[in-house]
Amino acid sequence: MAEMDPVKLMKQEVGRAAAAKVKSDTVVGLGTGSTTAFAIQFLGDRLASGDLKNIKGVPTSFQASVLAKKYGIPLTTLDEVDKIDIAIDGADEVDPQFNLIKGGGAAHTREKIVDGLAEQFIVVVDSSKLVEKLGSTFALPVEVLPMAVAPVTRALTALGASVDLRMGVKKDGPVITDQGNMVLDAKFDAIANPAEMEAHINNIPGVLENGLFVGVATEVLVGEVKDGQASVRSL
């Protein structure tokens, strides 16, 4: 039998480390993405073994909801809970101040609501996602009402971004979010002031939410592969 891909093993280990931080009798924000998917799987394993009891998950996407049901995690909604104890989610970029760019999976609007409400927000990434300045490697996703794509594109271009409407893979036409909107990917050389940029973009008429997460993360777990061995460290 072939050995497991080291990168997949690393993602598993980061997901396992994050899932290990969840305690019984808590509400858990369930993020979106490949690494977070392993965290959801391991939460299900802990529930099945009896190591973890009485948790409820708040999913950030249809993907997270499907995975939670698959692994036996009871789900709830923000209408039914008054707080989220801990959230686990990935990121596309992380700067030294724990500010993030998210939205590679087009779920950043729901993620920001859930992650922002969490008392503890654990980010799970690999070392390639660590940057000195946000925007240096990844375009900033901006969720936009369909009727506003053209004016918002002009507004983002005026801010210095190169803007593309995100198109589907193996699908004709643009990506449509869980809210029924479209995503503009705005590529900046670097974002000098993430908090200011986050507020500015969200004030553009037609923008629902952008992928800048400022002052939200409380811990970042980083997976690395060295000499074929997977390891996890906390920043």
Catalytic residues: 111
Nearest to 97 by CA among 11, 195, 186: 195
Half-sphere exposure (CA, 13 Å, Cβ side) for 165?
19
Please provide the size of the chain in residues.
Answer: 235
Distance CA 148, CA 6 (A): 43
Contact (CB, 8 A) for 38 and 67: no
Helix, strand or coil for residue 110? Answer: helix
Nearest to 90 by CA among 121, 120, 133: 121
Structure tokens at 48: 């099945």
Rounded to the nearest 5°, which phi and psi values hold at 219?
Answer: -150, 145
Extract the runs of DSSP E, i.e. beta strands, from 110-181.
Answer: 118-126, 140-144, 162-165
